[in-house]
């Protein structure tokens, strides 16, 4: 069975228009006017069980609106959704038992009471037996090192501590699908790494399906085999991250550190048969840019044959740059010129 099955999903919001000036305000009092905003525009995708999928896009692309429809918080304007075989906004009671949700910017824990009391309340909401709850809690507490936080009120926790507690809260009822909306927002790199490792482990050990929205592409690199990219409510890419990178990456750069002064003319002469470009950084350091069609080992062997090299570094185009240029072009289609084909 598919974990998530979405077909022609659409969400429109009615937004109240505010007319200008005093007369406008008076008119608004008597007759409201509305604009329609289409946040999600007839999207379709399927996620098999056990997959970790990244759901990315610029601010306002429609990510949170999709997650809210998938978790039954919002009712779609049109289209079909099945999550774990249920229609989220209809089959509420059976449905929520199979999913866990973490919104990085909102808490599901009660602010003024101890963390453990929030967990107990959630145990009752999800009707988890005391024995199952204890077993799962002990395991999660150990794995996320929450031991001495359990009796503190949530308002006294740091953001990183709270996020770890939010994850535990979302997993107490052992859901098979986890929806994460910006789970690492505002966290330092140590906590981010801890959370990523934990999610990978959950996925590996329990086959948990994870749909994750994030602006941090390191989350995507660390966790996701697949990425769905949204632009203005439409899916502009759905596929592997590696495929996206190889299609969009413009080439590689190799930095050489030479044993002594090595003039630009000499480097250009050594590689004259190849379509590479050189730039000097200083007397002993130079960078060679290679388009995809030039083989790295061919280029290296030419340089090695005519120079004495101390050190080499190879730089791939980074994912942030790739995704930024896709966002700014509004399409993940690669032109022939960009792909170098």
| Distance (Å) of CA 113 to CA 29, 120, 127 | 42, 11, 20
For residue 125, the tally of other CB atoms under 10 A from its CB is 12
Dihedral, 326, 329, 330, 331 alpha carbons, nearest 10: -60
Q: How far is the CB of 15 from ligand ATP (least distance, A)?
A: 5
Q: How far is the CB of 37 from ligand ATP (least distance, A)?
A: 5
71 vs 161, beta carbon nearer ligand ATP:
71
CA distance 86 to 83: 5
15 vs 280, beta carbon nearer ligand ATP:
15
Q: What is the DSSP code (8-state) at residue 178? A: E
| Selection from 211, 241, 248, 214 nearest residue 227 by Cα | 241
40 vs 168, beta carbon nearer ligand ATP:
40
Q: Which two tokens mark 32?
A: 């409201």
Of 7, 8, 13, 139, the residue at the interface with ligand ATP (CB under 6 A) is 13
* Rg of the chain over all Cα atoms, to the nearest angstrom: 26
Q: How far is the CB of 235 from ligand ATP (least distance, A)?
A: 12
Q: What residues between 282 and 321 interact with ligand ATP by CB under 6 A?
A: none
Total interface residues for ligand ATP by CB under 6 A = 12
Interface mask toward ligand ATP for 50-89; x: CB under 6 A: -------x-xxxxxxx------------------------
16 vs 335, beta carbon nearer ligand ATP:
16
Q: What residues between 150 and 179 interact with ligand ATP by CB under 6 A?
A: none
Of 26, 37, 78, 259, the residue at the interface with ligand ATP (CB under 6 A) is 37
CA neighbours closer than 13 Å in the CB half-sphere of residue 260: 4
Distance of CA 239 to the CA centre of its chain: 13
283 backbone dihedrals φ, ψ, rounded to 5°: -55, -35
Confirm or reject binding of residue 249 to ligand ATP (CB under 6 A).
no
13 vs 315, beta carbon nearer ligand ATP:
13
65 vs 84, beta carbon nearer ligand ATP:
65
Q: How far is the CB of 274 from ligand ATP (least distance, A)?
A: 42
18 vs 301, beta carbon nearer ligand ATP:
18
Q: How far is the CB of 33 from ligand ATP (least distance, A)?
A: 15
Q: How far is the CB of 13 from ligand ATP (least distance, A)?
A: 3
Strands 52-57 and 78-83: unpaired
CA distance 97 to 114: 24
Strands 285-291 and 99-103: unpaired
Name 89's Cβ contacts closer than 8 Å, sequence gap at least 6.
69, 72, 74, 75, 76
64 vs 118, beta carbon nearer ligand ATP:
64
Of 3, 4, 39, 70, the residue at the interface with ligand ATP (CB under 6 A) is 39
CA distance 53 to 241: 10
Q: How far is the CB of 322 from ligand ATP (least distance, A)?
A: 19
| Selection from 334, 340, 338, 273 nearest residue 303 by Cα | 273
3-state helix, strand, coil in the chain (%, to 5): 40, 30, 30
Q: How far is the CB of 101 from ligand ATP (least distance, A)?
A: 14
Q: How far is the CB of 34 from ligand ATP (least distance, A)?
A: 10
Using CB under 6 A as the criterion, which residues of the chain lie in contact with ligand ATP when the complex forms? Answer: 13, 15, 37, 39, 57, 59-65
């Amino acid at each position: 069975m598919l974990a998530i099955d979405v077909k022609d999903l659409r969400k429109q919001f009615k937004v109240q228009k505010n007319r200008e000036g005093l007369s406008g305000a008076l008119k608004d009092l008597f007759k409201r006017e509305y604009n329609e905003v289409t946040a999600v525009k007839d999207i379709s995708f399927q996620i098999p069980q056990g997959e970790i999928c990244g759901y990315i896009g610029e601010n306002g692309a429609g990510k949170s609106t999709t997650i809210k429809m998938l978790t039954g918080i919002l009712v779609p304007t049109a289209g079909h959704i099945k999550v774990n075989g249920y229609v989220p906004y209809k089959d509420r009671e059976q449905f929520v038992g199979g999913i866990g949700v973490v919104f990085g910017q909102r808490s599901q824990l009660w602010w003024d009471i101890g963390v453990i009391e929030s967990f107990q309340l959630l145990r009752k909401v999800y009707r988890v037996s005391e024995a199952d709850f204890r077993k799962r809690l002990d395991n999660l507490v150990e794995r996320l090192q929450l031991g001495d936080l359990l009796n503190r009120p949530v308002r006294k926790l740091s953001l990183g501590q709270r996020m770890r507690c939010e994850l535990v809260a979302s997993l107490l009822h052992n859901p098979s699908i986890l929806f994460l909306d910006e789970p690492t927002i505002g966290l330092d790199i140590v906590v981010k790494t801890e959370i990523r490792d934990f999610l990978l482990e959950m996925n590996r050990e329990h086959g948990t399906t994870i749909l994750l929205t994030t602006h941090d592409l390191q989350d995507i690199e660390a966790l996701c085999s697949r990425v769905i990219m949204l632009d203005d409510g439409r899916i502009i890419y759905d596929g592997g991250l590696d495929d996206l990178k190889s299609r969009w990456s413009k080439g590689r750069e190799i930095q050489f550190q030479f044993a002594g002064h090595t003039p630009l003319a000499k480097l250009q002469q050594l590689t004259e048969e190849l379509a590479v470009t050189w730039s000097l950084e200083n007397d002993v350091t130079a960078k060679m840019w290679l388009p995809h069609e030039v083989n790295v080992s061919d280029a290296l062997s030419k340089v090695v044959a005519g120079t004495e090299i101390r050190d080499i570094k190879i730089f791939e185009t980074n994912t942030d740059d790739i995704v930024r240029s896709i966002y700014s072009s509004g399409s993940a289609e690669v032109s022939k010129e960009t792909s170098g084909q």
